[in-house]
Every structure is written in structure tokens, then in C-alpha cells.
Amino acid sequence: MSARNNPVSARESPLLCYVTHRQGLPVANPADSIEALIRKIAEVAAAGVDWVQIREKDLAAGELASLTRQASRIAVKSSAECSSSIRVLVNDRLDVAIAERAGGVHLGEHSLQGAEAKRLVESALRKQAVQASFLIGVSCHSLETAQAAARDGADYILFGPVFATPSKEKFGPPQGLQRLAEVCRSLSSPVLAIGGVTLDNAESCILAGAAGIAAIRLFQDATNAIENIRALRQLL
């Protein structure tokens, strides 16, 4: 937020964000999907990802809080082992993010309004219920919504889908690199690219001005998360 130092803007290297999707994990019994996701979060965190965005919209508040709590413990452990800082973000549920002292909240275009989220976070900051580095991010699918989110105080914008991807088909055709570059040029807030990002096209997102990339399958489907993230670091 504008009143605080933005840790995204201060980074010297592109940011890597793993967006969770437990229903996409190969499990025989759907009841085991949360445990499978916890193992995947531990694997990706140990491999050196920067952020883990908990995007499990169908979970009840209690289940989501428990998952966030476990992910945060994994992040603390992996951060100490890797001498880095892994941030856990909660999708949509600002109440859960604050209650579990997560690293931030990520809002969809039709979630809680950014200005209202900012007001609630500032209140939580005064009560020391969250860390001063707590972030508010917003998903945007047009230049206009990205500009509005930035005006409302978003710490970062997640823009896409940049490339074709099954998980973002409902948002229409891919935005493409040219539009990503336009959004990056138009905003002072950092922009992360999402949607169909792969090892082959990740570098082009950074060259277009993105501060980092966010993805589900790029991290979740990797047979070797360490090699995958190492390859990304070399590329970016």
C-alpha cells in the first residue's frame, strides 16, 4: 500500500508465485486433496518459490484457516532453510488472512473492493493484528480495472490471462504480451503475469515489464520443482 514500503517494488529479481489448485492434483480420493496440497506446498516452498497463494475458494472458513496455518508454518521453515522469505497469501478471504496472520490477501475483480480492503487492513495494522508488510493484491483482466485497483491502493496487480490456459478460459481470449506491456507501462504498482506461463514464455513476460510471474501448472505439475524453479531463475 502507498503508505508503506512495498516489498514487491523493492525486489531486484522477478518474483515467482505458486497459485494452488488442489483439485488439479492427482489423488485417488478427493478427501485426500488437502493433505496432497500441503505436501505440494512444502515441495514448492523448499524449491525456492517466493509466494504461495492459497486459492481454494470452495473451502469453508475453518478448513481454509487450517490450510493457511499449515502453509505458513511450511513457509517459515523453508524460509529459514533457504535463507529467503516465502510469503503466504489468501485468495478472497481477508478475514482468514488477518486471523491467520498471513502475508497478504489476493482479491478477484468481483471480491471485496480494494478501498474497503485497504481500510480493514489499516485497522488491523493499528491493532498489530497483521505485519506491516501485509500485501493487498488484485486480479485484473483489463487496463481500466488495473488502473482502478492501483488507485484503490493495491500493492500489486495480477494481470492475465497473458497466454491461453484452461483455468482462465472464462475471462476470454488471452491478453497477450503487448497488452501486458501496456499495463506495466501504465502503472506504478508492480504487475505479475498470469495465465499459461511456461518455461518457454516466462522470460517474455519479464521483458514486457512484469515484476514476476504467477502460475498453477508451472509449479504444481512440475516433476522436479527444484529443477523447474532453478531453470526459471536462470531464465529471468
What local confidence, expressed as pLDDT, does residue 2 receive? 42
Question: Using CA of residue 136, residue 140, residue 146, residue 152, what is the dihedral sign?
Answer: negative
Distance CA 122, CA 135 (A): 11
- Does the pLDDT value for residue 84 go beyond 70? yes
Which has the closest alpha carbon to 54: 85, 87, 7? 87
What local confidence, expressed as pLDDT, does residue 230 receive? 92
Q: What is the pTM of this model?
A: 0.93
For residues 204-209, average pLDDT: 97
Domains in the chain, CATH or no CATH each: 15-235 (3.20.20.70)
Distance of alpha carbon 79 from the chain centroid: 17
Side chain identity at residue 185, one-letter code: R
What local confidence, expressed as pLDDT, does residue 149 receive? 94
- Does the pLDDT value for residue 92 go beyond 60? yes
pLDDT in tens, 13-36: 899 999 999 999 998 898 899 999
Distance CA 131, CA 198 (A): 32
Collapsing DSSP states into helix, strand and coil, what is residue 51? strand
